[in-house]
Chains A and B, each alone.
Chain A
Amino acid sequence: MSTRPAGRRSAKKKPVVRKKALRPSAARKPASQSSVYREFLAQARAMEQEAAERYDELADQMDVHNNVEVAALFRKMAEIERKHAVRVLGSFPDTPSSSLAPSLAIGQPEMPETVPTSEVHYLMPPYRALMLALESEQRAQSFFARIARTTRDARVRAAARELADEEREHVRLVKEWMKKVPKPDSGWDFDPDPPVYSD
């Protein structure tokens, strides 16, 4: 139904996130997937989808409040996560689908890679937005690494390791990106004309 607008110009030149194909050991074995493996695939896809949707929502919020730089940044992050979701889906064609919201379908609170809506501010500079993105990527990396360490299923372990490696690469790229935008002063959220009447 709704078609989200395409991303505008980006705030700064951003590094390109390149996705490598999943190794055959972890991918394209649709015939005899265990339920654990299928559940894991659903979670992996859900994380990317939900993260992308949240970035779209945050970009809309920033558009409404005329913070065009951060809106473009969130839009770019949404695009990256959406590509990742498509790739996970493409690599695992038998990933279970559902009409439910991904994380709701598997009975979880919000996914580790999803930026909480409560953490944004209408005056936030790109650096702050990248900090939120960095935290999300770090949570995703920890999530997959923990699964890789603890699972007894060899196929889940292999796929989780790959995804953890990819998230680690995302962490590195976001850190690189952060070096290219100015670090804000501590009073970045000061508004000389605040909306609060009582101040």
Chain B
Amino acid sequence: MNAPDVAAFKPQDFKSDTKPVWCPGCGDYSVLSSITKSLAALELRPENVAVISGIGCSSRIPAYTTCYGFHGVHGRALALGTGLKVARPDLTVLVTGGDGDGYSIGGNHFMHACRRNVDLTYIVMDNHVYGMTKGQASPTTEPDWSSKLSPGGTGVRTFHPLVIALAAGANFVARAFSGDPNGTAAIISQAVRHPGFSFVEVLSPCVTFRPEQRNWKELAHAASVAQTDDPVRAAHRVMTDDGFNIGVLYAGKRTPYQPPVGKSLDGAMEKIEKEFLL
């Protein structure tokens, strides 16, 4: 059978038959929809895309797509995605996950992935809580968010992922909102097209543990300024905004890191294997 023409791939073709098990009302449904819309808009084939994730509610996404997928180890999705991209630069690599997975357990990988600037797209569904493990405070949880698990709030300053990404060298930085699925799809498309490490922070409400986040749809608004290629200006903007500015903040011009494929490995694997023989 001939493979269908790329123009024939529609968003639904990127969705698998596995039904998501997220809570109804969860923002991650919309992000999944945005990803599939974006892949169709980019005229990609499912077999040419890999979706890599760590652990958490949002990290279930690979199972819900027809692309290649890897549901990896907690916080290590970026390490997996980086390895895959340098070995297979022909693939479009999307790394997906949540704020706990990416900013806490995987925080160090996040910074160094920004610094390394491998050509992949990192989509973080940020709901300011660990949902899968029942509502613990995450790095982006507000310091005064009170729950039985953190009475009176943690009192700890929140992690600012966009500023960290800029400081660490990410080549594309954007904020999206799950309540605007088409806007998010457009941002993801731009992120995939942009060379180097692209970071898209998606505000994605957790309606079960943070039901008050339903009002994000009233708070999210389009950024009033256009994207910049000046990281200092971008950092100033994002540090002084209200946290709900939606749009592309920064699109840089750094050359992506891509080591030559194959050449550096000539004979190396055999040598390593011999060293490990017992």
Q: Which residues of A contact B (CB under 8 A)?
A: 1-3, 53, 57-58, 60-65, 99-101, 103-104, 108-110, 116-122, 124, 195-199
Contact = CB atoms under 8 A, between A and B. Distances in A.
B8 A60 contact: no
B15 A2 contact: yes
B46 to A, nearest CB: 8
Contacts of B13: 1-2
Contact of B179 (A104, A116, A121, A195): A116
Contacts of B9: 99
Contacts of A57: 29, 33
Interface residues of B, number: 48
A118 B37 contact: no
B25 A99 contact: no
Contact of B17 (A2, A58, A122): A2
A120 B205 CA distance: 13
The SS class assigned to the B binding surface is loop
Contact of A53 (B12, B26, B179): B12
Given A1-B13, A61-B24, A121-B24, A109 B217 contact: no
A197 B29 contact: no
Contacts of B148: 197-199
Most A Cβ at <10 Å: residue of B7, B29, B147: B29
Nearest to B205: A118
A195 B29 CA distance: 19
Nearest to B149: A198
Most A Cβ at <10 Å: residue of B12, B20, B181, B217: B181
